[in-house]
């Protein structure tokens, strides 16, 4: 099996600002933990550095006016109507090099998709990608360019049937709506329920439209959903639909803000539970393009994406972090010295509340969507 990991040190140049929860340090921390475990220099592993995507590539999805606004604000120009496109103080700040960062994330995901489409890799991982909220003409949820959509479009241009599975705590709204009427792209998103968390979408009733009816699938979850609740719900929905759809390629969005200590969300997965979900997806996909996504507790990000990359290479890692990673953790004020963590300990009533909600969503999916796939 051939695998490829996409990484660039150029990310160190970009900064959303000192108060913003999306910290670029998470990418270097992840890369160095992968290196510490010896996961970047193994036989069969290719390490690739992406080139920035050009304007024409980004314009396959995003509008020209929006692209020009991104370029202008990135250069320091004042654009009076930038806020109409989601830009400004808050989630999507304007910072120097914003357009360069957007080009780089798009270029990495396009490279991952191209490597898999052309047979140079069976599995490719671009963990700086997965910015799944960006809309055609609007930034949203820390995302300026939707690299996941661009990667899927690259695969579709080669005639490949694509299933996109998003396990971020936030609904993958930008990807869902980009392919809402496309019968050749199945989007599945498991996430915290939209009436409790941004972006406020991702209900079972969002099923696609016209020829794509039934090809948008959402499994919303109650706050405090832990491994013991998530895994049966995932198993009841995702494998049957993937088997029925029979994709040529899986595109995975592996956000780890579903972890129980993430500061922005309220799910309760462990690193082990996350990794088991990734491993299960790898069993179901002939070829895989994996992207990163959310994750705002830095040790979780590094540990989860390192564990995911190990799973893509069918390697079992020891729980002890490599010695060279200890300095990284201490420098960032982190105490974690193990790859794994204990599962959540939930009150009985809380677990029952979350479990009953998950079971109702699974039943709704079975009733509304499964018949559309002959299930």
User: DSSP states of 261-312 as a string?
Assistant: T-SS---BB-HHHHHHHHHHHHHH-SSEEEE-----SHHHHHHHHHHHHHHH
Categorize the per-residue pLDDT at 300 as very low, low, confident or very high, splitting at 50, 70 and 90: very high
The answer, yes or no, to whether residue 334 has pLDDT greater than 90, is: no
3-state secondary structure of 166: strand
User: Are 285 and 276 contacting, i.e. CB atoms less than 8 angstroms apart?
Assistant: no
- What is the phi/psi pair of residue 135, to 5°? -100, 175
pLDDT at position 328, please? 87
* Residue 217 CA from chain centroid, whole number: 16
Average pLDDT of every residue of the chain: 96
pLDDT at position 205, please? 98
The answer, yes or no, to whether residue 5 has pLDDT greater than 90, is: yes
User: Are 266 and 346 contacting, i.e. CB atoms less than 8 angstroms apart?
Assistant: no
Instruction: Let me know how long the chain is.
Output: 375
pLDDT at position 3, please? 98
- Report the relative pairing of strands 288-291 and 123-126 from DSSP bridges: parallel
Higher pLDDT, 153 or 331: 153
* Closest by Cα among 50, 53, 5 to 31: 5
Going along the chain from its start, the domains and CATH numbers come out as 3-373 (3.40.800.20)
Rounded Cα gap, residues 257 and 260, in angstroms? 8
> pTM for the complete prediction?
0.97
pLDDT at position 336, please? 76
The answer, yes or no, to whether residue 191 has pLDDT greater than 80, is: yes
pLDDT at position 283, please? 97
The answer, yes or no, to whether residue 248 has pLDDT greater than 80, is: yes
User: Are 52 and 107 contacting, i.e. CB atoms less than 8 angstroms apart?
Assistant: yes
- DSSP conformational letter for 253: E
pLDDT at position 40, please? 96
Q: Which residues participate in catalysis according to the annotation?
A: 133
Query: What is the rounded average pLDDT of the residues 329-334?
Result: 82
Cis amide leading into 133 (omega within 30): no
User: Are 26 and 298 contacting, i.e. CB atoms less than 8 angstroms apart?
Assistant: yes
Q: Which helix (H) or strand (E) holds 252?
A: strand 249-253
Which has the minimum average pLDDT: 47-56, 182-191, 322-331? 322-331
pLDDT at position 61, please? 98
Rounded Cα gap, residues 250 and 4, in angstroms? 15
pLDDT one-digit tens code per residue, 58-110: 999 999 999 999 999 999 999 999 999 999 999 999 999 999 999 999 999 99
Categorize the per-residue pLDDT at 324 as very low, low, confident or very high, splitting at 50, 70 and 90: confident
User: DSSP states of 177-218 as a string?
Assistant: HHTTT-TTEEEEEEEE-TTTSTTS---TT----GGGTT-EEE
């Amino acid at each position: 099996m051939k695998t490829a990991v996409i990484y660039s040190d150029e990310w160190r140049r970009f900064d959303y600002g000192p108060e913003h929860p999306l910290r670029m340090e998470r990418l270097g921390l992840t890369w160095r933990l992968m290196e510490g475990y010896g996961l970047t220099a193994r036989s069969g592993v290719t390490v690739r550095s992406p080139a920035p995507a050009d304007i024409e590539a980004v314009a396959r999805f995003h509008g020209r006016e929006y692209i020009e606004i991104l370029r202008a604000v990135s250069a320091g120009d004042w654009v009076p109507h930038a806020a109409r496109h989601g830009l400004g103080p808050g989630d999507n700040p304007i910072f120097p090099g914003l357009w360069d960062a957007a080009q780089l994330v798009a270029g990495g995901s396009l490279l991952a998709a191209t490597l898999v489409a052309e047979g140079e890799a069976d599995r490719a991982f671009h963990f700086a990608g997965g910015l799944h909220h960006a809309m055609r003409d609007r930034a949203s949820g820390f995302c300026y360019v939707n690299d996941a959509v661009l990667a899927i479009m690259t695969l579709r241009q080669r005639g490949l049937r694509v299933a996109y599975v998003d396990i971020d705590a936030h609904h993958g709204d930008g990807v869902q709506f980009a392919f809402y009427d496309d019968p050749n792209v199945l989007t599945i998103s498991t996430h915290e329920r939209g009436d409790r968390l941004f972006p406020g979408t991702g209900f079972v009733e969002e099923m696609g439209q016209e020829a794509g009816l039934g090809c948008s699938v959402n499994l919303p979850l109650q706050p405090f959903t832990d491994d013991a609740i998530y895994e049966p719900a995932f198993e009841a929905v995702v494998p049957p639909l993937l088997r029925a759809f029979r994709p040529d390629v899986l595109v995975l969005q592996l956000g780890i803000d579903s972890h129980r200590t993430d500061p922005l969300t309220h799910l309760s997965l462990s690193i082990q539970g996350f990794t088991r979900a990734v491993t299960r997806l790898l069993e179901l996909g002939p070829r895989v393009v994996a992207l990163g996504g959310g994750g705002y507790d830095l040790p979780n990000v590094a540990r989860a994406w390192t564990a995911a990359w190990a799973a893509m290479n069918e390697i079992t890692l020891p729980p002890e972090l490599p010695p060279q990673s200890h300095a990284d953790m201490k420098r960032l004020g982190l105490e974690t010295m193990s790859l794994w963590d204990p599962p959540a300990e939930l009150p009985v009533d809380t677990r029952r509340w979350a479990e009953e909600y998950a079971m109702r969503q699974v039943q709704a999916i079975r009733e509304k969507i499964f018949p559309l796939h002959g299930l």
